Every structure is written in C-alpha cells, then in structure tokens.
C-alpha cells in the first residue's frame, strides 16, 4: 500500500505561519467539502468506514492523531503531527482515526459533497468491495 503524505509550503515570519491550499495545485482534486473534528475524547476511535468515490486529504492542524488505513490487503498506521502535512486517503480505503491528543483538530478536505450512498460502513462489505475494486483496477 502506498501512503501519500503531502508537505505543504508554510509561509511565515515573526508574525507567525500561514499555509494556503489550492485545488489541483496543492490538493489533487476539486475541494467540494471541508470539515473538522475537535474535542475528541480520550480512547475514542472515529471513522470506521470507506468511500466508493470520495477522496480526502486529512490534516491535523492542531495537536496530533493517528490514521489507520486498510485497503483490504494490508494495513498501515500513519501519524499526523504537523499542521503543514496532509495525508491523502483514496476511495476504497477503510480509515480509522485514533489516539487524538487533547488539543487535536483534524481537518478534512473532501472531493465530494456528503452522500450517505458513497459510504461503506460495514467492514465485511468493505472487504468484498475492496476485493472487487482491486480486480477491476488491475484488469
């Protein structure tokens, strides 16, 4: 499984830092939705789903957290600890966000508007989807 972590260009001086993100320049898709998670309680894991079409960039803009990625064949855990790093999460990828620091703010840039029909929330259903998706992608 290839994990793609983007390092965004911070711009700063003695006043502080700024990171600007533009679709198709810094982000590999058109940004249709932005949301963020904060005040996540200790020992809470979020996510537990995959998407059929949607792509995302996850950025922990404050604090830290970890992302468990699963493509149906292998799993990887990726830490997000810097506000200028973003993790690309493709479609057909199970994701779980966990180990949030008390001050964590996890921002998500999404390629599509919210559509419940795009979600796969059952892990066994995801494994079947990923198996079929992999066969389609290879063939």
Which residues are part of the catalytic machinery? 49
Q: Which residues contact 106 (CB under 8 A, 6 or more apart)?
A: 36, 37, 38, 40, 58, 59, 60, 61, 65, 80, 97, 100
Q: Whole-angstrom Cα distance, residue 70 to residue 81?
A: 20
First to last CA, the chain: 18
Exposure of 33 in the CB half-sphere (CA atoms within 13 A):
12
Q: Which contiguous run of DSSP H or E holds residue 124? A: helix 123-138
């Amino acid at each position: 499984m290839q994990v793609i972590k983007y390092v965004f260009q911070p711009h700063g001086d003695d006043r502080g830092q700024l990171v600007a993100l533009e679709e198709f320049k810094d982000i590999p898709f058109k940004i249709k939705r932005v949301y963020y998670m904060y005040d996540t309680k200790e020992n809470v894991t979020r996510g537990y789903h995959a998407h059929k079409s949607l792509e995302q960039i996850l950025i922990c803009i404050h604090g830290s957290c970890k992302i468990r990625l699963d493509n149906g064949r292998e799993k990887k855990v990726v830490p997000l600890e810097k506000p200028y790093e973003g993790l690309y999460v493709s479609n057909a990828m199970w994701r779980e966000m966990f180990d949030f620091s008390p001050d964590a703010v996890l921002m998500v840039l999404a390629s599509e508007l919210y559509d419940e029909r795009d979600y796969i929330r059952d892990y066994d259903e995801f494994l079947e989807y990923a198996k079929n998706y992999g066969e389609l992608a290879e063939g």
